[in-house]
Chains A and B, each alone.
Chain A
Amino acid sequence: MSEHRLENAGADDFGRDLLDIAFIDNLAYNRDSVMHKASALSKVTMVALVIAAVVISTEALVFVIALAILLTTFSISNLPVLRILPFAGYAFIFSLIFAVSSIGGGITPIVVILKAVTAAVSMLLLITTTPYPQIFALGRKIFPTILLDAMLVTYRSFFILMEQVERVIIALRMRGGYSPLRVVGNLDIMGKVVGHGFIHAWELSENMQNAMLIRGYRGGMPVSAARKHSIKYSLLPVLLGATVLATAVFA
C-alpha cells in the first residue's frame, strides 16, 4: 500500500480508524532510525519493563518521566509523533471512564490516566518501529503453531480485506450511502458491506486453503526477522525500559 494513499485515507475520519494497522505497518517497514535498527526482542523487553513500572508505581512523577523518555525516543525515531499519539486516545478515553468511576483514596484519577497512556505509548513505540512478522517470530516459542499461523493469515488478509472494504466505502460515499448521523441507515449498509466482505473473505480462505495444501503445508509457516540487528542499537530500548522501571522502583 503506497504512502500517498495512506496519507490521503488517513485524513479521512471514517477511513482513519480502519487504517490503523496499515498506517502503523507502513511506519514500521518504511522508516529508518536507531529504534528501527534495534532487535524486536530488545523492544519487547522495553515494553515489558515499562508495563512492570506501570503496574508497580502509583506516583504521577514516575509516569511523567516515563512519558518524557518515550516521547523523546519517538522524536529521534523518524516518526510522525503528532499522527501517532492519537492512537493512545483509546487508552486515554477508557482510562478516563475508569478514573471518573474511581473512589480509590490512594490513587488519583490523573495517575490512572497516566498509567494507561504510558503503557499505550510504549506499545506504540514498539509497533511503529517493529514489523508485525518480527514480533510474531518471537511468538514462535510461546504460541502453538496453529495460533501463530492463524495470526500470520490475519495479518496478511487484513490488508487484502481492508482494501476491499475501502473500495466499497468509497463507492458508498459517492452514492451518499454513509452519513455519520444516520445510525440505523448505516447499520443496514454496514450489514451489507460486512456481509459482502464476509463472503469475499470466505472465498479467499478457500483459495488460500487450497494453495497451502498444494504447497504441502503441514503446520508452521516460516517467519523470520528480515533486518540485521546490531547489539549496540538493541541496547537503547533495553536501557530505556530499565530506566523507567528503576525510576518506578526508587521513586
Chain B
Amino acid sequence: MSHIHLPDGVIPVFWWIVGYVLTAAMLGLAISRTKSTEARRKVPLLGIIAAIMLIGQSIPLGFIPFHLGLAVLAGIVLGPWLGFMAAFISNMFLALIGHGGITVVGLNTMVVGSEVIIGYLLYGMVRRAIARPVLPVVLATTLTLIITITFMVGVVAIAQVNPALILMGEEEGAIRESVVDSPAAISLRRFITLIVPIAAIGIAIEALATGLIVKFIMGVRPDIVGAPARERGGR
C-alpha cells in the first residue's frame, strides 16, 4: 500500500534517477539469485502474481481513498527476489495508466519491493514464534507497512533537497535557498499530517485483508502459503 502516488515532474531528477539505478541493481541481483531453469519455470507464476497485485491496486475499498497493495502476500508466496520483480512489473503497469508517474517507477519499486522483502522476512520470523496461521500474517503485514511507510516518507523528505548543490559543496545559505525554490520543496510536517491518518487506516485494512486472504487460501489450498516459501524455490 506504500505506493508513492506522486506524478511526474515533482521529484527532482537526481532522486528519480537514483531510484531507477537502485531498482536496476536490485533487479539484477534478483535475476542473478534466481536460477535460469527455475526462473523459466516461475515466469507464469511471477506474471500472474503481478497481475493479482495490479487487480488489488485497482479495486477501491468503499468510500476511503485506499486500495490493497498485496506486496506482503506476494513476498510470502513468491519469496523476496521474484516478489521484487513482481513489484517492478505492477508499478510499471500502474505508471502506464497514470497511477504514479513513469519517472517515479524506480522509487516506487524500491518502496513496494522493500515491502515484499521485509514482509517475507518478518513473516518467516513471526511464523516461527506463533503457531496460529493468520496472526503471523497480520503482524508481519502491520510491521512491514509501518517500516515501509516510514521509508516512503523518508524518500519524500530526502527528495526535497537539491542534491546537486550539496555535491558541488555550495554554502549552507545557497542550499537553503535552493530547497525553498526547488519545485519539490515541501513541508514534511504538513505532508506527514496529510499522510498519517490515511496510512493508519490503510495499514489496518491491508493487514486485515491480507490475513483474511491467507485464511481463505489456507482453507482451500494450504500448500500455497502453508509451506515455508523457501521450499518452493525461486529465490
- With a cutoff of 8 Å between Cβ atoms, the chain A residues found around residue B6 in the complex are 94-95, 98
- With a cutoff of 8 Å between Cβ atoms, the chain B residues found around residue A157 in the complex are 44, 47-48, 51
Contact A55 B103 (CB under 8 A): yes
Contact A107 B183 (CB under 8 A): yes
Q: Number of contact residues on A: which range applies?
A: 35 or more
Name the contact of B48 in the complex, choosing from A91, A116, A195, A201 (C-beta under 8 A).
A201
Flag whether A170 is at the interface (Cβ < 8 A): no
- With a cutoff of 8 Å between Cβ atoms, the chain B residues found around residue A206 in the complex are 44
Contact B180 A91 (CB under 8 A): no
Interface SS majority for chain A: helix
Contact B186 A102 (CB under 8 A): yes
Contact B181 A219 (CB under 8 A): no
Closest chain-B Cβ to A205's Cβ sits at a distance in Å of 4
Contact B9 A55 (CB under 8 A): yes
- With a cutoff of 8 Å between Cβ atoms, the chain B residues found around residue A87 in the complex are 97-98
Contact B99 A209 (CB under 8 A): no
Given contacts A119-B102, A127-B96, A187-B205, contact A95 B10 (CB under 8 A): yes
Contact B186 A90 (CB under 8 A): no
Tell me, in angstroms, the Cα distance from A191 to B213 when the chains sit together. Answer: 4
Contact A101 B224 (CB under 8 A): no
Closest chain-B Cβ to A104's Cβ sits at a distance in Å of 4
Closest chain-B Cβ to A56's Cβ sits at a distance in Å of 9
Closest chain-A Cβ to B218's Cβ sits at a distance in Å of 9
Q: Tally chain B residues at the interface, Cβ within 8 Å.
A: 78
Fill in one digit per residue for B15-52: 1 if any A CB lies within 8 Å of its CB, else 0. Answer: 00000000000010001001010011101111111111
Name the contact of B47 in the complex, choosing from A106, A152, A195 (C-beta under 8 A).
A152
Name the contact of A154 in the complex, choosing from B48, B61, B99, B185 (C-beta under 8 A).
B48
Contact A101 B194 (CB under 8 A): yes
Flag whether A249 is at the interface (Cβ < 8 A): no
Flag whether A167 is at the interface (Cβ < 8 A): no
Contact B182 A98 (CB under 8 A): no
Contact A119 B62 (CB under 8 A): no
Contact B44 A205 (CB under 8 A): yes
Name the contact of B93 in the complex, choosing from A154, A165, A197, A205 (C-beta under 8 A).
A154
Given contacts A95-B10, A147-B27, A202-B221, contact A106 B183 (CB under 8 A): yes
Contact A95 B181 (CB under 8 A): no
Contact B68 A149 (CB under 8 A): no
Contact B43 A149 (CB under 8 A): yes
- Pick the interface stretch among A14-22, A31-39, A72-80, A227-235: A14-22
Flag whether A1 is at the interface (Cβ < 8 A): no
Contact A150 B221 (CB under 8 A): no
Flag whether A115 is at the interface (Cβ < 8 A): yes
Further 5 A-B residue pairs, CB within 8 A, beyond A101-B187, A119-B8: A51-B8, A90-B5, A116-B8, A157-B47, A190-B68
A sample of 5 cross-chain residue pairs with beta-carbon separation below 8 angstroms, ordered by A number, consists of: A18-B55, A123-B97, A191-B211, A198-B217, A201-B52
Q: Which residues of A are interface residues toward B (Cβ below 8 A)?
A: 14, 17-18, 20-21, 24, 47, 51, 54-55, 58, 87-88, 90-91, 93-95, 97-98, 100-107, 111-112, 115-120, 123-124, 126-127, 132, 135, 144, 146-147, 149-158, 161-162, 165, 179-183, 186-188, 190-192, 194-199, 201-202, 204-206, 208-209, 212-213, 217-219
Q: Which residues of B are interface residues toward A (Cβ below 8 A)?
A: 5-10, 13, 27, 31, 34, 36, 39-41, 43-52, 54-56, 58-65, 68, 70, 73, 85-86, 88-90, 92-93, 95-103, 180-187, 190-191, 194, 205, 208-209, 211-217, 220-221, 224
